[in-house]
Chains A and B, each alone.
Chain A
Amino acid sequence: MRSRILVLFSLAVVAAVLCLLPFILSDYNVSLVAQVGIFFMAVLGLDILTGYSGQISIGHGAFMCIGGYTTAVLSRDHNTNLFVTMLIAFAICFVVGLLVGLPALRLSGAYLALVTFALAVSVPQLPLKWSSFLGGRDGVQTSEAAQQTATNLWVYGVAWAASAILFVLAWLILRGRVGRAFRAVRDSEIAAVASGVELPVYKTLAFGISAAFAGVAGSLFVLANNGFAAPDEFGIFLSLQILIGAAVAGLGSLWGVLVGAAFVGLLPSVSSSVPVIGSAHGQDVVFGAAVILVMLVLPEGFAGLVARLRKLAGA
């Protein structure tokens, strides 16, 4: 009972802070915190896949790519309402995720990582191939009206609202039967099958949900970038960033997701002022070193840290 009040209270504090920040921060910094919101959704999606259902993916940038381009193309060609495009991105990526999840059933561990890596490298090539429809290297720009609407503040608000909605959705899924099935699959596939969990259904479902979350993140990612979608934005490094965010978060923890997303979302802007390394690629050194350290020292990520601190405080 007490812990539930604590959880609700901390959620309220986070919500309050997020509501206040736009008043305190400059417009530019608001766009930075919006990036955190965007990564929150993608990292949350990957967390569900890897942390809860035990399937690894180094290809979530591909789903963000699909979601982002969905929004951009629909807006450019039909001036579709942006919220509608996000819903469509969610749906399309859910289906694509299911499709990827099917062959993934027969792959495990390193092999799945390999396949998703190849996916992440391949999907951004597709706009180059179908350049008349998908803009090629010149990219796709959302409509004038969409560009007017999607100000920094708008993106901030929608990104965090969507994050909240997806967070609640994840919580609902994971506390129910589906969540228990996911955890059973992660802990021991053989035991899960033995206890009657229909493996294929849940594993594929996890992929679909995970991809859908990344798709919405992709939509907002494009909108935050002045409504401009280009293939290079969705290169392999994006997928690696999401994985790093999930690793720092602590696979299997919803609270860690916030920390992981903040780490990945804010580091690029912060690292340019790091004195020694400084340059645009200073962030790569920090990202790489951070995730290696986390894996070596703190394998459960931020979530593990919190758990350990709790143990120390409680015990």
Chain B
Amino acid sequence: MATAETSRLESLRNRSAALGAGSTPIVMLLLVAVAVALLVGSLRSATFAQLTVQGLAVGSVYGSLALALVLVYRATHVVNFAQGELAMATTYIAYQLIQWGLSYWEAFFATLAIAFLLGTVLEVTLIRPVLHRSVIAAVIVTVGLFVLIDGVVDWIWGGDFKFMPSPFGTRIYHVGSVSIARLYIGMFVVVIISVLLVWALFRFTKLGLGMRAAALRPAEAAFVGVRVEWMLALGWGLAALLGAVAGLMAEPSQFTLEPTLMQPILVYAFAAAVLGGLDSPAGAVVGGLLIGVALNLMVQYVPAITSELQAPTAFAVILAVLLIKPSGLFGHREVRRV
């Protein structure tokens, strides 16, 4: 019985993988070209290297939040506008745990667990009832959540700055004339590890397989015995967990904690998710890194684009991708409707 179930799931997986094969080689080639360009640029100019390193660190935060958005979208086809605020709220929970005496890393992992629970609860109580009606209704609920979470955090902790201990200390490494703060390395590593763990979950575990099946082919998955509704809830939980990682890594880069922590980041995470493909987890992370580095370099080397135009640039990216290639770099679902 078990073998039959697994093999049907396997065939589902094979079929879905086959869908995206076409565009991938070109995209991979492009990415390799970009990587080479960045390397060359960094070797030639210390400033370029500095900005690239910072861009990768910040980009990893965008990528983590983008990944959360993608997981939610894949599971329930909802764009969760409250993902950033949820990430911010879980960061405040970590802050509170530290205030109550836990060490940073104890609070970190406790927060991830709490975030996971919070995400599943939200999906079950607030999203599932509305999902049956329409996607727009669910989107409006996430908008309400955005505002509600912001208000609740403000109410409980107040709107002024809070300080959290820095998880990576303040050491700075010097590579030639480039200064790499340990913070940047830490942000990047933590996010990459989280992403790899999620990837491993999806790739190697039965649970992960079930989640992917529930997202891609719910009817068939249900037929095969996957508890689709639970998989969707778990998807939200995992997303909330990744959001918490994003928030916890964003905070030290800002040196202070305040309710607006994730608001500027949200639009870049959206851009990253769209660029990578709203249903591609790998794409979200790559998209995040690309956007992080690109924005930094653009502000430095393109005189017309000053820091005020960063958000409008993200808007332009979103619009351009959705109009030209709606499935993004790595996505492979048919996204357009009549």
Interface residues of A (CB under 8 A from B): 50, 56, 58, 103, 106-111, 113-115, 117-119, 121-122, 125-126, 128-129, 189-190, 193, 236-237, 240, 243-244, 247, 277, 279, 281-292, 295-296, 299
For the A-B complex, the count of residue pairs with Cβ-Cβ distances under 8 Å equals 148
* Complex-state Cα separation, A58 to B81, whole angstroms: 10
B308 with A125: CB separation less than 8 A: yes
* Complex-state Cα separation, A107 to B335, whole angstroms: 9
B315 with A288: CB separation less than 8 A: no
The total of chain B residues at the interface (CB under 8 A) is: 50
Choose from B73, B143, B149, B310 the contact partner of A240 (Cβ within 8 Å): B143
A117 with B319: CB separation less than 8 A: no
A118 with B130: CB separation less than 8 A: no
Q: What residues of A have a CB within 8 angstroms of the CB of B150 in the complex?
A: 281, 284, 288
* Nearest B residue (CB) for A136: B308
Additional 12 contacts, C-beta under 8 A, given A292-B144, A296-B129: A103-B323, A110-B139, A113-B136, A114-B79, A117-B267, A118-B315, A121-B267, A122-B267, A125-B312, A282-B155, A285-B151, A289-B148
* Complex-state Cα separation, A114 to B143, whole angstroms: 11
* Nearest A residue (CB) for B135: A109
B270 with A292: CB separation less than 8 A: no
* Nearest B residue (CB) for A110: B79
* Complex-state Cα separation, A296 to B142, whole angstroms: 12
Judged by a CB distance under 8 angstroms, whether B75 is at the interface is no
Q: What residues of B have a CB within 8 angstroms of the CB of A281 in the complex?
A: 150-151, 154-155, 159
B147 with A121: CB separation less than 8 A: no
Judged by a CB distance under 8 angstroms, whether B314 is at the interface is yes
Least Cβ distance of B150 to chain A in Å?
Answer: 5
Judged by a CB distance under 8 angstroms, whether B257 is at the interface is no
* Complex-state Cα separation, A257 to B312, whole angstroms: 31
B312 with A122: CB separation less than 8 A: yes
Judged by a CB distance under 8 angstroms, whether B44 is at the interface is no
Residues of chain B from 267 to 319 with CB closer than 8 A to chain A in the complex: 267, 270-271, 274, 306, 308-312, 314-315, 318-319
Q: A118-B271, A243-B140 are in contact. Are A125 and B309 (CB under 8 A)?
A: yes
B151 with A283: CB separation less than 8 A: yes
A292 with B136: CB separation less than 8 A: no
* Complex-state Cα separation, A237 to B147, whole angstroms: 8
* Complex-state Cα separation, A281 to B309, whole angstroms: 29
* Nearest B residue (CB) for A192: B338
- Give chain B's interface secondary structure class: helix
30 cross-chain CB contacts under 8 A: A56-B136, A56-B139, A103-B319, A107-B322, A108-B336, A109-B136, A110-B77, A111-B322, A113-B81, A115-B322, A117-B81, A117-B270, A118-B319, A122-B315, A129-B308, A244-B143, A244-B147, A277-B155, A281-B151, A281-B154, A281-B155, A282-B151, A286-B151, A288-B144, A288-B148, A291-B141, A291-B143, A291-B144, A295-B137, A295-B140
* Complex-state Cα separation, A247 to B143, whole angstroms: 11
Least Cβ distance of A74 to chain B in Å?
Answer: 23
* Complex-state Cα separation, A119 to B314, whole angstroms: 10
Residues of chain B from 317 to 338 with CB closer than 8 A to chain A in the complex: 318-319, 322-323, 326, 335-338
Interface residues of B (CB under 8 A from A): 73, 77-79, 81, 126, 129-130, 133, 135-137, 139-141, 143-152, 154-155, 159, 263, 267, 270-271, 274, 306, 308-312, 314-315, 318-319, 322-323, 326, 335-338
- Give chain A's interface secondary structure class: helix
Q: What residues of B have a CB within 8 angstroms of the CB of A114 in the complex?
A: 79, 270, 274, 318, 322
B137 with A106: CB separation less than 8 A: no
Q: What residues of B have a CB within 8 angstroms of the CB of A285 in the complex?
A: 148, 151-152, 155
B338 with A243: CB separation less than 8 A: no
Q: A109-B136, A189-B338 are in contact. Are A118 and B151 (CB under 8 A)?
A: no
Least Cβ distance of B250 to chain A in Å?
Answer: 17
Q: A113-B139, A281-B155 are in contact. Are A288 and B322 (CB under 8 A)?
A: no
Choose from B143, B312, B322 the contact partner of A58 (Cβ within 8 Å): B143
6 tightest Cβ-Cβ pairs between the two chains A and B = A288-B148, A284-B151, A285-B151, A281-B154, A291-B144, A288-B147
* Complex-state Cα separation, A189 to B336, whole angstroms: 13
Q: What residues of B have a CB within 8 angstroms of the CB of A296 in the complex?
A: 126, 129-130, 141
A284 with B311: CB separation less than 8 A: no
Choose from A128, A240, A295 the contact partner of B130 (Cβ within 8 Å): A295
Q: What residues of B have a CB within 8 angstroms of the CB of A56 in the complex?
A: 136, 139
**Residue among A110, A126, A279 facing the most chain B CB atoms (10 A cut-off):** A110
Least Cβ distance of A13 to chain B in Å?
Answer: 31
* Complex-state Cα separation, A122 to B268, whole angstroms: 11
* Complex-state Cα separation, A244 to B322, whole angstroms: 26
B270 with A106: CB separation less than 8 A: no
Q: What residues of B have a CB within 8 angstroms of the CB of A286 in the complex?
A: 151
* Complex-state Cα separation, A62 to B318, whole angstroms: 17
* Nearest B residue (CB) for A58: B143
A299 with B133: CB separation less than 8 A: yes
Q: What residues of A have a CB within 8 angstroms of the CB of B130 in the complex?
A: 295-296, 299
Least Cβ distance of A12 to chain B in Å?
Answer: 33
Q: A111-B335, A244-B143, A282-B151 are in contact. Are A236 and B263 (CB under 8 A)?
A: yes
* Complex-state Cα separation, A126 to B338, whole angstroms: 33
Least Cβ distance of A196 to chain B in Å?
Answer: 15
Q: What residues of B have a CB within 8 angstroms of the CB of A279 in the complex?
A: 154-155
* Complex-state Cα separation, A55 to B239, whole angstroms: 27
B79 with A113: CB separation less than 8 A: yes
